[in-house]
Structure 1
Amino acid sequence: MTGTVDVLLVEDNDADARYVEELFREPIPVQEERFPGLSDAGDEVRIHRETSLAGTTRTLESSAETLDVVLLDLHIDDSGGMETLEGALEASRDVPIVVLTGVDDTSVGAAAIRAGAQDYLVKDDVNRDLLERTIRYAIQRHETGQALRERTEQLAIMNQLTRHDVRNDISLVVARARQLRNEVDERYADTLTEIITASNHVLQLTRTIGDAVEAADEDPDDSRLGAVSLARILEGEVEKALDLYEPAEIEIGGDYEDVEVWGDSLLGSVFGNILSNAIIYNDEQTPRVDVTVTVEDDTVTVDFADNGPGISPRQRRELFSSESSDLDGSGLGIGLFLVRRLVDRYDGDIDISDNQPKGSVFSVELKRA
């Protein structure tokens, strides 16, 4: 922003336009800022007026970069209702829009915000303080939204590179290493197995990064949540883990074939990450995971019991934190922050307990659909 706040006022009623202009001309107390919180804004407000959607569109298309906010009356010479807002948004989304309405109906304002406006004002209720506060917040929210969109675009690019370029190269490493199994001297067999296991772990991590980006971009109340087949997702993840992490052993028990739970396609990441951690951070020559499904009237609990070294009480407290990606340098916990986020999204729960005689049990409770 410059030292002047440039307002595009879209209003075809001369009396209403004059009233808005007079509000901005009202004197302010000496010690009071006109737009506090906007560091570059001065006390001057410069108003540009249009009376039609056609004129508004031309101004936005040609001069959006010089404007700070649009005050938009929905009913003007050549347009009425939401069509006016849609036309302004189509011309430019680089300027925040505050809708002016003569109807004291919150449903109109709510519809305008859903369509892309930053806020709305009822003309009969507008005073100087309310007008300037609404403009200030609209500009700030718009700037925050733009920063978030730019960050989302950057994450999408990273996700694309990770999921495709990196995965393709690592998949090639795994394939070539497996081809060498029958060709290398026994002295190097364990080394080759380590290469394959570590490479497969990288594949799991690239999937986790992609799923985390996707989960971060979704609304917790997203309509894509619904009934999903537990057997299809769980057995699919077990099959992937067995293929990735030889010579691991995984067994599934329980009567769950026709059970559906509340979730979406990302439920596979919950199971995949738990299986990956149970096998990768296992000190046994043959890592083993026993998966037990317990079906109740309203919930389903999936227990993943491994024969690894176990998890200390301190690590359990930190495990699902966003800071837990490398506890004690072990790498334990990578992906589990995503697991917690997704399980919460499904209104489920997750817990960790000791396995006997050694190891840990991850218990995931999900709602039946």
Structure 2
Amino acid sequence: MMNQQLVSILLVEDNLGDAFFLQQILKESQISKFQVSHFDYLAKAISHLENATCDVILLDLLLPDSQGLETLLNIQQKAANIPIVILTGMNDEKLAMEAVRKGAQDYLIKGQVTTEILTQSIRYGIERKIIQKELKKRTEQLEKTNQELKKKTEELEAVNKELKAFSYTVSHDLRNPLSNFKGVLFLWVEKYKEQFDTQDRQWFDIMNRSCDRMNQLIQDLMLFSHVEKQKTYLSDVDLSVLANQIIQQLEMKYPNQKVEAIVESNIIAVADENLVYIALENLLNNAVKYSQKQEKVIIEVGSFFNPDSQELENNRGEEISQKQLVYFVADNGVGFDMKDADKLFIPFERLHSKNEFEGTGIGLATVQRIIKRHGGKIWANSEVGKGSTFYFTIPNSSQTLAIEN
């Protein structure tokens, strides 16, 4: 880097013979060219630095107006970013170590200096100073980043407090008036139902369904917010058993729908049973709900280790290791366009209108939170009119099974 550059040297040396000798040594260098400004007093050198700069300072510690380490400390006040190489006749190891601790780039003994030694010392001093400057810059950037992160953390803590207050409001201040409204609505209908005409019944149905939808929305919001706060208790969970239980409940929920469920046996996960039940319930409910237009709903629940030679990649471009166990829930429903896949797990985002399929748009966001709580990932693959498959991982399960196998 320096070979083609003219290196500016500030030589602070009161002995004219030594100064001449050092300048002659520098002239003999074959790899660098040096321009030397020589001063015999420290005060003159410091005055020079007020109006000019240099690449490196060669400093004698014993000067007419300054002695010892004070010489180094005094000039550093004007040359904080300039490498300083001490050139002295004092062969004092203790002094040399202390000088380096105080910021000198090197400590050379005059009688031992050669062209090669001095040139290398100058080059290394400049390069070390550049590295130190860069490290300082990066440290300052890191400190700034840490301060920003601290500020963001404080902001997030404030938001979390607001969310807790919001959750309380949702569970009490909203749910209670809604329950009162529905109760009064029921009493009003009981009292006047004999006088209802067709339009009155339609209005009642609209109000009743709106109350139910609002109540479901409140429940989903509460569940969504509580997932993050709920403690996890990990154990071996048989997802096959949970899936079959949920499917039985769904068959009662959709009595007019033919459901064929293919559930792999002994799908074990190391997970929180309550949370993973909620996740499976949402995924399986969606599988049935979005397959209702089919003559028969076909659901498959299973797991696999990626058998391909390459790593499996989810729809976000994140790689899933071959050793990672992947669980899946598949259906033969309406599917969706994969260009909309990023919207799947965003609260209140819906890929189908509520007139086509009921729902609040919070279920999959809740599932994602649960999977993330377990350190896993979730993604989907689908094609319009050809069903959907949701994949998810739970890392602890893979590690356990890998050890067992």
TM-score normalised according to structure 1 size: 0.50
Mapped partners of 1:46, 1:156: distance in 2:
38
Name which of 156, 159, 162 aligns with 1:170: 156
What is the root-mean-square deviation of aligned Cα atoms in Å?
Answer: 3.4
Give the superposition deviation at 1:3.
2.7
Residue in structure 2 matched with residue 50 of structure 1 by the alignment: 39
* 1:333 to 1:193, Cα distance in 2 relative to 1, 3 A: closer
Question: 2:9, 2:127 → 1: CA distance?
Answer: 15
Amino acid at match of 1:4: L
**For residues 72 and 333 of structure 1, what CA distance do their matches in structure 2 show?**
62
CA deviation digits over 1:117-144, x for unaligned, max 9? Answer: 1111101100111110111110110111
The answer to whether 1:74 aligns with 2:76 is no
3-state DSSP of counterpart to 1:177: helix
* Partner residue in 1 for 2:220: 187
Q: Distance in 1 between matches of 2:60 and 2:46?
A: 14
C-alpha distance in 1 between matches for 2:10 and 2:274: 70
| Conserved 8 A contact 1:327-1:333 | no
- 112 and 333 in structure 1: CA distance in 2 versus 1, 3 angstrom threshold: farther
Partner of 1:247: 231
Report the CA distance between 1:286 and its aligned residue: 6.8
Counterparts of 2:374 and 2:113, CA distance in 1: 53
CA distance in 2: counterparts of 1:79 and 1:179, whole angstroms: 68
Q: Is the 8 A contact 2:58 2:87 kept in 1?
A: yes
Q: State the aligned residue count.
A: 208
Can you list the C-alpha shifts for 1:86-121, whole angstroms capped at 9, x where unaligned? 001111212100011211122221111100111111
Report Cα offsets for 1:308-337 as digits up to 9, x if no partner. xxxx9xxxxxxxxxxxxx984998999xxx
Deviations 1:182-227 (A, max 9, x none): 3242232221124xx3xxxxxxxxxxxxxxxxxxxxxxxxxxxxxx
Q: Which residue of 2 aligns with 1:90?
A: 77
8 Å contact 1:247–1:286 — kept in the other structure? no
SS of the residue corresponding to residue 83 of structure 1 reads helix
What does the per-residue CA deviation read over 1:37-94, in whole Å, with 9 as the maximum and x for residues that have no partner?
xxxxxxx211001111211212223212xx1100000011100000000001111212
- Give the counterpart of 1:63 among 52, 62, 68: 52
Q: CA–CA distance in 1 between the matches of 2:51 and 2:81?
A: 12
Tell me: CA distance 1:112–1:283, structure 2 relative to 1, closer, same or farther (3 Å).
Answer: same
Runs of 4+ in structure 1 over 4 Å off: 326-334
- Give the corresponding residue for 1:113: 100
Could you tell me how far apart the structure 1 residues matched to 2:24 and 2:65 are? 26
CA 1:151–1:332 in structure 2 vs 1: closer, same or farther (change >3 Å)? farther
Please state how far the C-alpha of 1:283 moved relative to its aligned partner: 3.3
Distance 1:57 1:187, change over 3 A: same
Aligned AA (1:284)? D
User: For the structure 1 residues 27 and 162, does the alpha-carbon distance in structure 2 shift closer, same or farther, using more than 3 Å as the test?
Assistant: closer
Provide closer, same or farther for how the CA distance between residues 91 and 247 of structure 1 changes in structure 2, counting only shifts above 3 A.
same
Given the alignment of the two structures, is residue 11 of structure 1 paired with residue 13 of structure 2, yes or no? yes
In 2, the alpha carbon distance for the partners of 1:333 and 1:6 equals 61
SS at match of 2:64: coil
In the TM superposition, residue 168 of structure 1 has moved relative to its aligned partner by 2.5
- Aligned residue number for residue 259 of structure 1: none
Equivalence for 1:25: 27
CA–CA distance in 1 between the matches of 2:320 and 2:68? 60
Q: What amino acid is the match of 2:81?
A: D
Q: Distance in 1 between matches of 2:128 and 2:113?
A: 20
Q: Is the 8 A contact 2:29 2:119 kept in 1?
A: no
Unpaired runs of 5+ residues, structure 2, are 172-217, 235-269, 276-304, 306-317, 322-370, 376-395
Distance 2:13 2:50 in 1: 18
How far apart in 2 are the matches of 1:14 and 1:101?
Answer: 14
2:25 maps to amino acid: L
- 5+ residue gaps, structure 1, are 29-33, 36-43, 198-244, 251-281, 288-311, 313-325, 335-353, 360-369
Structure 2 counterparts to residues 1-369 of structure 1, below 5 A: 3-26=5-28, 28=30, 34-35=31-32, 44-64=33-53, 67-164=54-151, 166-182=152-168, 183-184=170-171, 185-194=218-227, 197=228, 245-248=229-232, 283-284=271-272, 328=320
Contact 1:7–1:46 (CA under 8 A) maintained in structure 2: yes
Question: % of aligned pairs identical?
Answer: 29
Contact 1:181–1:192 (Cα < 8 Å) also in 2 = yes
| TM-score (structure 2 length as normaliser) | 0.46
- Write the distance in 2 (CA, Å) between the matches of 1:193 and 1:54: 70
1:61–1:92 contact (8 Å) kept in structure 2: no
Higher helix content, 1 or 2: 2
Contact map agreement 1:60 1:88 (CA 8 A) in 2? no
1:135 aligned counterpart, secondary structure: helix
